[in-house]
Structure 1
Amino acid sequence: MGRRKKGEKIDGWINLDKPLELSSTQAMAKVRRALNAQKAGHAGTLDPLASGILPIALGEATKTIPYIQDGMKTYEFTVSWGEQRSTDDSEGDVIASSDVRPSLEQIKGALPAFIGEIEQIPPKFSAIKIDGERAYDLARDGEDFEIKAREVYIGSVELVEAREHEADLVMSCGKGTYVRALARDLALKLGTYGYVSALRRTRVGPFNAQEALTLEKLLAKIEELGDSAATLDALQPLETALDDIPAFAIKEDEAVRIRNGNEITLISKPDFERLAKAGIENEDEALATYKGKALALVYRDGPKLKPFRVFNT
Structure 2
Amino acid sequence: MNGVLNILKPPAMTSSDVVSHLRRILGQKKIGHTGTLDPGAAGVLPICVGRATKIADYIMRGDKEYIAEITFGIETDTQDSYGTSLRRCECNITRQAVETVLPEFTGKLFQKPPMYSAVKHEGKKLYQLARKGITIEKPPREVYIRQIDILGGQINKFLLKIRCSKGTYIRTLCADMGEALHCCAYTSFLLRTETCGFLVEDAYTLPEIEMMVQMGTLASALYSMEEALSFLKSLHCEKRLYPFLTTGTPIDLTKTKLELQPDVDYAVFCGGELIGIGKKIGDKLKIISMLKELGGASGETKTADTK
Using structure 1 for the length normalisation, give the TM-score: 0.86
Match of 1:140 in 2: 131
Match among 230, 233, 244 for residue 257 of structure 1? 244
Q: What CA distance in whole angstroms lies between the structure 2 residues aligned with 1:38 and 1:262?
A: 30
Match of 1:286 in 2: 266
Superposition pairs for residues 168-247 of structure 1, below 5 Å? 168-225=159-216, 229=218, 232-247=219-234
Q: What CA distance in whole angstroms lies between the structure 2 residues aligned with 1:307 and 1:191?
A: 51
Structure 1 position 116, deviation (Å):
0.2
Cα deviation, 1:200-253, whole Å, max 9, x if unaligned, reads 00000121112222222222122111xx74xx1111111234223322233455
Return closer, same or farther for 1:122/1:211 CA change in 2, 3 Å cut-off. same
Return closer, same or farther for 1:295/1:104 CA change in 2, 3 Å cut-off. same
Runs of 4+ in 1 over 6 A off after TM superposition: none
The answer to whether residue 83 in structure 2 is matched with residue 96 in structure 1 is no
Match among 120, 125, 141 for residue 129 of structure 1? 120
Whether contact under 8 Å (2:242, 2:270) holds in the other structure is yes
Structure 1 position 33, deviation (Å):
2.6
Whether contact under 8 Å (1:53, 1:208) holds in the other structure is yes
Stretch moving more, 201-210 or 27-36: 27-36
Q: What CA distance in whole angstroms lies between the structure 2 residues aligned with 1:113 and 1:288?
A: 40
CA RMSD of aligned residues (A): 2.0
**What letter matches 2:194 in structure 1?**
R
Question: Which consecutive unaligned segments of at least 5 residues does structure 2 have?
Answer: 294-307
Q: Secondary structure at the match of 1:172?
A: strand
Q: Secondary structure at the match of 2:44?
A: strand
Structure 1 position 283, deviation (Å):
5.5
The answer to whether residue 301 in structure 2 is matched with residue 310 in structure 1 is no
Q: What CA distance in whole angstroms lies between the structure 2 residues aligned with 1:285 and 1:145?
A: 35
Q: What CA distance in whole angstroms lies between the structure 2 residues aligned with 1:267 and 1:41?
A: 38
Identity, % of aligned positions: 31
Whether contact under 8 Å (1:67, 1:241) holds in the other structure is no
Question: Which consecutive unaligned segments of at least 5 residues does structure 1 have?
Answer: 1-9
Match of 1:37 in 2: 28
Return closer, same or farther for 1:119/1:266 CA change in 2, 3 Å cut-off. closer
Structure 1 position 69, deviation (Å):
1.0
Q: What CA distance in whole angstroms lies between the structure 2 residues aligned with 1:91 and 1:165?
A: 19
Alignment length (residue pairs): 293
